[in-house]
Amino acid sequence: MEILERLEQAVHSGKPVALCTVVNTRGAVPRHAGAKMIVFSDGHTEGTVGGGEIENLVRDEAQESLNDGKTRFLNYDLIDPEKGDPGVCGGTMSIFVEPFIHDPTVVIVGAGHVGRSVAHLAGWLGFRVVISDDREELCNPQATPGGDQYLPVLMSQLPEHIEIDSQTYLVLVTRGTDVDVEGLPVLLESDAAYIGLIGSKNRFKHTQEKLAEKGISPEAIQRIKSPIGLDIHAETPEEIAVSIMAEIIALRNEGTSHKRKV
């Protein structure tokens, strides 16, 4: 039961995780039907399905399942290592791998007019919505409705509070360049699928220069999409929100695979 509890905790916290379960065995094997192991995206495991080479193979398959979102049914003979078998116990094992990948998450940094509009639209489109602003009076359900989670922290502190992975889309609609320059470096080190920054071309040029002065590489800076959103000549906060979410949807659909969402 402990493994299932850890699985539930991981899913609840938004961490991608794969559950590996021994479903069938025959003959001498290290673990029998019902044995479980969970595998995280970084390769960390908890529980066991047999140890040794077979567990290494299952872990690798589990990590692949987190990348493509597909289940796997694995069959292993444990008879003759010279033929490539991962053991000499003498039996066979079947293991089912099931990935649990959270819903795509839009993290909105900046709870102003545009941030509120993006939160409303992203939630309507089925994204999990996280709203962050270091101004606590704005970062709450009353001032900025529509969030699934509220983080009244500095932008640079976001990775301490949420998992930022390939299912995370960062929408930075902040109040100024100073906020961007201080907060972006740590976000550029994350696995976020999208980092969009609001502002004019001049504002972004200034931001780029300041980031370069801080030692951020040109390759990292190129990850930033600015001006943010598709060019639909948007003017109002609502129109800007449409352009931002349209860009995120276009990006997401380019790489969408059939993933189990939890």
Length of the chain, in residues: 262
Is residue 88's pLDDT more than 70?
no
Least confident of 83-87, 195-199, 217-221, 252-256: 83-87
Distance CA 125, CA 128 (A): 9
Among 21, 20, 13, 60, which residue's Cα sits nearest to residue 41?
60
Question: For 101-158, how does the pLDDT look when each residue is reduced to its tens digit (9 = 90+)?
Answer: 878 899 999 999 999 999 999 999 999 999 999 999 999 999 999 999 999 999 999 9
When the pLDDT of each residue in the chain is averaged and rounded to a whole number, the result is 89
Check if CATH label 3.40.50.720 holds for domain 105-254.
yes
Average pLDDT, integer, range 241-249: 97
Neighbours of 237 (CB within 10 A): 17
Q: How far apart are the first and last CA of the chain?
A: 19
Is residue 82's pLDDT more than 80?
no
Burial of 118-154, coded b for 16+ CB within 10 Å and e otherwise, reads bbbbbbeeebbbbbbbbeeebbbeeebebbeebbebb
Chain-centroid distance, C-alpha 220 = 18
Contact 171, 196 (CB under 8 A): yes
Output the pTM of the full model. Answer: 0.72
Q: How many CA atoms lie within 13 A of 153 on its CB side?
A: 14
Among 40, 139, 184, 30, which residue's Cα sits nearest to residue 95?
30
Average pLDDT, integer, range 252-261: 54
Question: For 173-203, how does the pLDDT look when each residue is reduced to its tens digit (9 = 90+)?
Answer: 999 899 999 999 999 999 899 999 999 999 9
Average pLDDT, integer, range 67-82: 80
Contact 144, 164 (CB under 8 A): no
Q: Burial level of 105, CB count in 10 A (0-12/13-18/19+)?
A: buried
* Percentage of residues of the chain with pLDDT beyond 70: 92
Q: What are the domain boundaries of the chain?
A: 2-100, 105-254
Question: For 211-228, how does the pLDDT look when each residue is reduced to its tens digit (9 = 90+)?
Answer: 999 999 999 999 999 999
